Amino acid sequence: MATGLATMPRGRCHHRRTGVGSWLGEWWLESAVHTSPGVGEWSDWGHARYRLEVLDDCAIVTAVGEVDKHTAVGLGNAVKLGLRSCPHLILDMTSVTFIDSTGLGALVSARRQSYEVGGNLSLVSPPAAVCRILGRTQLERSFPIYPSLGQALTSARTSH
């Protein structure tokens, strides 16, 4: 698999069947946070949860569940908080089970916001169903998509 922006073509989803990377540790055991979360805390939005981590000068937003009209605001909040820390965003979509047009709009907005501050937005391991939607809407051409968090971080380090 290719590891850098120069060798990772846009418009190519890579489906990974394994679970969330080990860097999150025992993340299923953590409690959800119902107020404005800080870095490392979960934000619970009903059928979706978001978590922000900062690693290697990148804001990593992990999304779990359905990104739709009821939960996309949570993604937007995590993105805004992440951009306060650094301009380079990585959205780990490994555990996203569904995305609708509002969720797609949140992705486009996150990409625009990161570009406005001199950064970029990369997607990590969107599931096959999400890849199909990104492909049908031609949005997969708009984002670098990586099969693993490690590859997204390696690319981000080389693009600074």
The pLDDT assigned to 44 comes to 75
pTM for this one? 0.76
The pair of three-digit structure tokens given for residue 60, joined into one six-digit string: 């990593």
Q: What is the dihedral of CA 86, 5, 16, 123, to 10 degrees?
A: 40
Query: What's domain 37-159's architecture?
Result: 2-Layer Sandwich (3.30)
Dist CA 5 CA 152 (whole Å): 9
Q: What pLDDT is recorded for position 31?
A: 28
Q: What is the mean pLDDT of each successive set of 10 residues along the chain, which is 160 residues long?
A: 36 42 31 46 80 91 95 94 93 96 97 95 96 95 95 86
65: left (phi over 0), alpha (psi -120 to 50) or beta: left
User: Domain spans of the chain?
Assistant: 37-159
pLDDT the model gives residue 159: 75
